[in-house]
Amino acid sequence: MRYISTRGQAPALSFEEAMLSGLARDGGLYVPETVPVMSRDDIRALHGLSYEETAFRVMRPFVGDSFTDETFGDLIAKAYAGFGHGARAPLVQLAPGHFLLELFHGPTLAFKDFAMQLIGQLFEEALTRRGEHVTIVGATSGDTGSAAIEAFKGLDAVDVFILFPHGRVSEVQRRQMTTPGEANVHALAVDGHFDDCQARLKDMFNDFAFRDEVRLAGVNSINWARVLAQVVYYFSAAVSLGAPDRTVSFTVPTGNFGDIFAGYIAKKMGLPIDRLVIATNQNDILHRCLSSGAYRKGEVIPSISPSMDIQISSNFERALFDAYGRDGGAVAQLMEELKEGGFGVSQGALQALREHFESGRASEEETLATIARAHATMGELLCPHSAVGVKVADEHRTAATPMITLATAHPAKFPDAVEQASGIRPALPERMAGLFDREERVTRVANDLTALETLIRERLAK
């Protein structure tokens, strides 16, 4: 199994190499050269298996000879052992024909744990075998950073630096990043927005001298291994509702397009998925693009679902690559136009996208109203991101096909919005007690590439 860049100018890599490098050197994202297909019998055979066993069977063909069967199985087991629910990704019924896939039972209470816990294990194994050390730098609007710190803290083969926008993450999110005491964890509060953090991260990757000097590695959702880990729960959920003998649809609260792209891969692998519905908040570039064909960035408007406050959806590039018939030159051209503000998707490509994806958006008021309604009528407390999904799902579901909405975070991660809507302040799970008592460790830093690189060099020298 080899991985190629969406911009067509970087060498093809193995699974392990693509995972360790993150972003391709031509600025593109890695995708598998071909997507392996599971037969209906293969899918039927997943019935009744544990989450871990399903994960092994779904991901195995993508990994090639980067890990042996035995090692890969062991690492999967370790990755999910710390989850607070035996099913890992339980499915609960919201209404006839509407289900909620709870992806918030991991250590940091958001779906990011599914991928991050696994790649923590895969990185440690691969780097120890190679005798190498890498510097992971990540940008976060909140959830990615805490999930990465939780997954990589205390590992010998990595230092992890997380850039988050100072004053713009929730207190729970901040404390999850600033309270781990391990020496290889570095939480950096940047004076700027999330988009500034992401831009500085990209600058670091494009500073090839620095990139090679510190052996920079990326774990943002553009890392293929993260997308792959997320493919698994589309299978486990669909199979538990009767796939392959029943077709299902999914609605996914979407920001960087990583999670829903995993659903698209599941569909390409043969999972019978009717529709993949993109749910956005008021930062609706993807919804506007699917509706009009124009992909044009605007200003980020802060919302109560901050993990989706994004104007450039990085993983959308992977969907465009397929929609343009895997023409890397065409994708590179679009990304050049994006630097100037945006681009128009060609008629053919737009049609190709609409064959798989639908879209909708939820305003702030609609999100709050959905939290209130879900609590009053179904007894379910939704986080604001999941509420965006439920609202859009209700507009798109049909009687013929069950709809599965992804619940991407635990309501206790966003207690203010949930309390405002429902009157109930959700409590953190037992296992996270103490978060508010632990000492915080964080470094404030300017929104400046040189300042950041200098700080990272100094820390690594210690």
The C-alpha atoms of residue 111 and residue 98 are separated, in whole angstroms, by: 20
Exposed/middle/buried for 367, CB within 10 Å: 0-12, 13-18, 19+?
Answer: buried
Question: Does residue number 188 form part of the binding site for ligand PLP (CB under 6 A)?
Answer: no
Question: Does residue number 343 form part of the binding site for ligand PLP (CB under 6 A)?
Answer: no
Smallest separation (angstroms) from ligand PLP to the CB of 106:
11
Question: Does residue number 178 form part of the binding site for ligand PLP (CB under 6 A)?
Answer: no
Pick between residue 141 and residue 179 the one whose CB is nearest to ligand PLP: 141
Q: Residue 135 forms beta bridges with which residues? A: 159, 216
- Using CB under 6 A, pick the residue from 255, 328, 360, 402 that binds ligand PLP: 255
Smallest separation (angstroms) from ligand PLP to the CB of 389:
8
Instruction: Kindly list the distances between the CA atom of residue 295 and the CA atoms of 83, 182, 280, 325, 337, in Å, as whole numbers in the listed order.
Output: 38, 42, 14, 18, 10
Binding range to ligand PLP, per CB under 6 A, among 19-27, 51-59, 206-214, 257-265: 257-265
Element containing residue 82 per DSSP (H, E): none
- Using CB under 6 A, pick the residue from 32, 258, 270, 415 that binds ligand PLP: 258
Question: Does residue number 112 form part of the binding site for ligand PLP (CB under 6 A)?
Answer: yes
Q: How many residues belong to the chain?
A: 462
The C-alpha atoms of residue 188 and residue 247 are separated, in whole angstroms, by: 45
In one-letter notation, the amino acid at residue 412 is: A
Pick between residue 244 and residue 255 the one whose CB is nearest to ligand PLP: 255
Q: What is the DSSP string of 237-254?
A: HHHHTTTTSS-EEEEEE-
Pick between residue 279 and residue 330 the one whose CB is nearest to ligand PLP: 279
- Using CB under 6 A, pick the residue from 367, 405, 408, 422 that binds ligand PLP: 408
Question: Does residue number 385 form part of the binding site for ligand PLP (CB under 6 A)?
Answer: yes
In one-letter notation, the amino acid at residue 402 is: P
| CB proximity list for 213: less than 8 A, separation 6 or greater | 457
Binding range to ligand PLP, per CB under 6 A, among 52-60, 182-190, 247-255, 363-371: 247-255
Write out the binding residues for ligand PLP, residues 195-224 only, by CB under 6 A. 221
Question: Does residue number 253 form part of the binding site for ligand PLP (CB under 6 A)?
Answer: yes
Active site residue 112: yes
Exposed/middle/buried for 431, CB within 10 Å: 0-12, 13-18, 19+?
Answer: exposed
Exposed/middle/buried for 308, CB within 10 Å: 0-12, 13-18, 19+?
Answer: buried
CB atoms within 10 A of CB 94: 21
Question: Does residue number 88 form part of the binding site for ligand PLP (CB under 6 A)?
Answer: no
CB atoms within 10 A of CB 139: 25
How is residue 305 written in tokens?
A: 């679902």
- Count residues near ligand PLP (CB under 6 A): 16
Smallest separation (angstroms) from ligand PLP to the CB of 258:
3
- Using CB under 6 A, pick the residue from 169, 201, 308, 331 that binds ligand PLP: 308
Which residue is catalytic, options 112, 267, 391, 413?
112
- Using CB under 6 A, pick the residue from 114, 152, 257, 316 that binds ligand PLP: 257
Smallest separation (angstroms) from ligand PLP to the CB of 129:
29
Pick between residue 83 and residue 210 the one whose CB is nearest to ligand PLP: 83
Catalytically annotated residues: 112
Instruction: State the residues that interact with ligand PLP by CB under 6 A.
Output: 110, 112, 143, 221, 253-259, 307-308, 385, 408-409
